[in-house]
């Protein structure tokens, strides 16, 4: 059995542990509330308020990836790109398994023109969450910018499939197909997004 700290009997040490645990739980609750508020402020376009929420949250928890991701998003939206990039890098370092952190890091690299790093970040996002249509759409767009049409087409189609054929993703896929139609060097397979969605739905029915 471990010894109690000097000057503390069993009851005193137990009380101290309870107080420490209480403070820890309170800090977690406050941090969670501030993260939620920061997210709401960003959705409302109040980026200054979002940054303030994140700064307050960091006083309670300095190693939360979501805080840095949201702060980075707030910086990104007001075109403070360098600060945004630093936040996204910190977020992925703190939690390498959060697909949204990688997604935002990819958007940062794309913004500054570093397409290879953007592709790497979007691929990490896709690997972590392969059913996220946004990661596929961003990756497809970046690969298109690199001239890698076959790979881009695959991810545009995956975006449509995983979104269930949502209008925006279908439109982006159609725009890509129209723009790249007839490219002799890297021709995209002549299959429409609707075909892929239909095939996916039929496969699911058979599995049931």
Query: What pLDDT does residue 184 have?
Result: 36
pLDDT tier, 22 (very low <50, low <70, confident <90, very high otherwise): low
pLDDT given for residue 65 in this prediction: 96
Average pLDDT of the segment spanning 8-20: 49
Q: What pLDDT band is residue 194 in, cutting at 50, 70 and 90?
A: low
Per residue in 123-132, pLDDT (tens digit) is 999 999 999 9
pLDDT at 15 over 90: no
> Do the beta carbons of residue 140 and residue 163 sit within 8 Å?
no
Average pLDDT over residues 16-36: 76
Q: 202: pLDDT confidence band, cut at 50, 70 and 90?
A: low
Of these ranges, 58-62, 133-137, 171-175, the one predicted with the greatest mean pLDDT is: 133-137
What is the average pLDDT across 80-92? 97
Judged by average pLDDT, the poorest of 13-17, 57-61, 94-98 is 13-17
Closest by alpha carbon to 132, among 100, 105, 109? Answer: 100
Q: Is 18's pLDDT higher than 50?
A: no
In angstroms, the CA 70 to CA 131 distance is 22
Cβ atoms of residues 83 and 75 within 8 Å: yes
pLDDT beyond 70 at 179: yes
Judge residue 189's burial from the number of C-beta atoms within 10 Å of its C-beta, 0-12 exposed, 13-18 middle, 19 or more buried: exposed
- pTM metric for this prediction: 0.78
The pLDDT value recorded for residue 10 is 53
Q: Give me the mean pLDDT over the 24-50 stretch.
A: 93
């Amino acid at each position: 059995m471990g010894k109690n700290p000097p000057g503390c009997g069993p009851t005193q040490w137990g009380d101290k542990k309870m107080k420490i645990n209480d403070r820890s739980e309170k800090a977690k609750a406050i941090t969670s509330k501030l993260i939620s508020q920061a997210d709401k402020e960003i959705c409302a376009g109040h980026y200054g308020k979002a940054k303030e929420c994140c700064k307050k949250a960091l006083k309670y928890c300095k190693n939360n990836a979501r805080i840095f991701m949201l702060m980075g998003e707030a910086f990104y939206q007001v075109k403070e790109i360098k600060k945004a990039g630093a936040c996204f890098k910190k977020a992925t370092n703190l939690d390498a398994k959060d697909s949204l952190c990688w997604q935002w890091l990819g958007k940062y690299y794309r913004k500054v023109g570093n397409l290879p790093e953007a592709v790497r970040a979007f691929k990490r996002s896709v690997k972590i969450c392969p059913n996220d249509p946004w990661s596929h759409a961003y990756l497809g767009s970046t690969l298109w910018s690199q001239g890698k049409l076959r790979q881009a087409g695959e991810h545009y189609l995956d975006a449509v499939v995983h979104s269930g054929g949502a209008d925006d993703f279908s439109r982006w896929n159609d725009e890509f197909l129209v723009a790249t139609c007839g490219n002799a060097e890297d021709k995209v397979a002549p299959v429409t997004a609707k075909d892929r969605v239909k095939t996916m739905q039929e496969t699911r029915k058979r599995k049931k």
